[in-house]
Structure 1
């Protein structure tokens, strides 16, 4: 097993509300209703001793507090065209004082692709929030956990571990800071074990 690191050039988000993900995976947080989220990513990763540039755009539409859907457009320098994926998320039960929030959804929905379905729970703690979920893709299970916490200077820090249904593992750290009312900048690093 070999681990690789992914470092982005930057992620810029323009939104009236946050995208409801820890670093990579969804949360069970409620949406800000009638809001739109737009994010641009550019990062480089290494696989099989080659470096690849990925540029992505994520558009998430939140018509209600419980439901959102989106389009992810991803282009890598080793493919001729960008790939487009859909995602859906529905909060089954919002978090209460006694119970964690629970959400279901799917991502990587596209013609010829194998979507991933998930069930994620979120619990707010005294100093942050804990997210845990299970993921199903082509009869294979995966799981993930994440912890997010505000730190000084208005920065939100998130640590996430995700074991994909195919067995690949990712460990991520993300720091996000608002720079204007509806604009934030994120920097993240991901370590990924290259099993293929």
Structure 2
């Protein structure tokens, strides 16, 4: 659970029974219960056309249907997200890491097509990263495929993130995060 506060730079992260106060104190600097942590996040553009064939991530074959290429969804964009944390991901709680990733992604993406769902997407990515104790690393990589359906500005958006740990020089597939934002309930979209 991630709770906002009166201070826009501070949130409370609750994972199981662990409560953490997280405060952004610099562009990439966060205090977690008073301890300073540095996070770097870069986002770059992916291919301009949808991926129509299966792809392989570290010996796991991903089919296009796994990322929402259903007939009613239209491919919109792909973003590559690289994350570098101060410590290994599995030493962070899901909520604190998710809130931080959501904050950094929102700042980097602004009000883009995916802007409305980045906080939730960041939390899902953090869950996969933090659950990577088999691959102790502080470096992650996600490929985010973005789909839409409907008529602008009433379109519905879907973001599918294929999340990886960068471990011993290889991208190790951790899982996928899927988030959908419905822009207009009941308006026929």
The TM-score with structure 2 as length reference comes to 0.45
Higher strand share: 1
User: Which structure is higher in helix share?
Assistant: 2
